[in-house]
């Protein structure tokens, strides 16, 4: 979907915005790197530079067997964060394989359900591969992005060299399809 002029009545001086939903994943090379991304995201939200549908941090501390997932829209327990859309997605990506099943069976099934949404097997495999002990991530499902405000923040973050940015543009119905696919796959793998 192409960038579009700012919507009528937009008086913040911006010239372009992206209305389509996007899934952005910032992978940091340290367990606490996502904290910086969280600060940047909060600043952008305060400036109404984007609409956040869901956002989580994933922090994998040294020596931990699993990462800690935190939800940015509200203060919640780790269990509640895992039950959010993106928390459920990360839970599926990092779930150990079921005995006797191929190691990537859960991710493959999820990718098949998400066909046509902009999130494919390669994207999911890349996110999974980048999440490991002593790393962290910020995952953001957003829309209505003011590119004039967001682009400089992204460029500053990338300039530090300690982060990898992964990005998928999604069709308008993708957030609901993603929610359904994650909930369905979680239900299948818990029973």
Q: Examine residue 2 and state whether it is found in any structural domain, yes or no.
A: no
What pLDDT, on the 0 to 100 scale, is given for residue 174?
87
Q: Does the residue 6 lie in any domain? A: no
Q: CA torsion 28→30→34→40, rounded to 10°?
A: -80
CB-based contact 174:117 (threshold 8 Å): yes
Is 9 within a domain? no
Question: For 21-30, what is each residue's pLDDT tens digit?
Answer: 999 999 999 9
What's the order of all strands across the beta sheet hosting 51-59? 68-71, 51-59, 136-143, 22-28, 163-169
Look at residue 191 in the predicted model and tell me its pLDDT. Answer: 56
Spell out, as residue ranges, where the chain has pLDDT lower than 70: 1-16, 73-83, 191
Give the closest residue to 132 by CA, choosing from 93, 187, 81, 178. 93
With respect to residue 180, please indicate whether it lies within any of the assigned structural domains.
yes
Say if 141 falls within a structural domain. Answer: yes
DSSP reduced 3-state for 188: helix
Q: Which two tokens stand for residue 158?
A: 């990338």
pTM of the model: 0.85
Evaluate whether residue 11 is within a structural domain. no
Dist CA 167 CA 149 (whole Å) = 17
- Asked if residue 1 is part of any domain, the answer here is no
How would you list the strands of the sheet with 4-5, edge to edge? 4-5, 16-18, 145-146
What is the DSSP-derived secondary structure letter of residue 76?
A: -
- pLDDT, tens digit, 9 for 90 and up, residues 83-107: 689 999 999 999 887 788 888 898 9
Query: Dmax over Cα atoms in the chain, in whole Å?
Result: 58
Alpha helices in the chain (DSSP H): 34-46, 78-82, 85-94, 105-113, 121-130, 147-159, 174-190
The answer to whether residue 24 is domain-embedded is yes
Q: For residue 115, give both structure tokens.
A: 């066909």
Residue 102 has what pLDDT? 87
Range of the domain at 20: 16-190
Number of domains present in the structure of the chain? 1
């Amino acid at each position: 979907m192409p960038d579009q002029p700012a919507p009528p009545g937009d008086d913040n001086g911006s010239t372009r915005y992206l209305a389509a939903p996007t899934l952005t994943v910032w992978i940091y090379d340290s367990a606490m790197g996502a904290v910086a991304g969280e600060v940047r995201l909060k600043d952008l939200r305060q400036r109404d530079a984007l609409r956040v549908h869901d956002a989580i941090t994933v922090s994998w501390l040294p020596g931990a067997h699993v990462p800690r997932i935190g939800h940015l829209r509200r203060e919640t327990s780790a269990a509640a964060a895992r039950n959010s859309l993106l928390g459920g997605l990360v839970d599926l990506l990092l779930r150990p394989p079921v005995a006797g099943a191929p190691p990537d069976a859960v991710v493959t099934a999820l990718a098949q359900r998400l066909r046509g949404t902009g999130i494919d097997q390669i994207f999911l495999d890349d996110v999974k591969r980048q999440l490991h002990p002593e790393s962290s991530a910020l995952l953001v499902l957003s829309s209505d992005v003011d590119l004039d405000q967001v682009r400089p923040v992204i460029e500053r973050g990338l300039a530090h060299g300690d982060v990898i940015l992964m990005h998928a543009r999604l069709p308008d119905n993708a957030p609901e399809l993603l929610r359904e696919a994650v909930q369905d796959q979680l239900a299948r793998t818990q029973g």
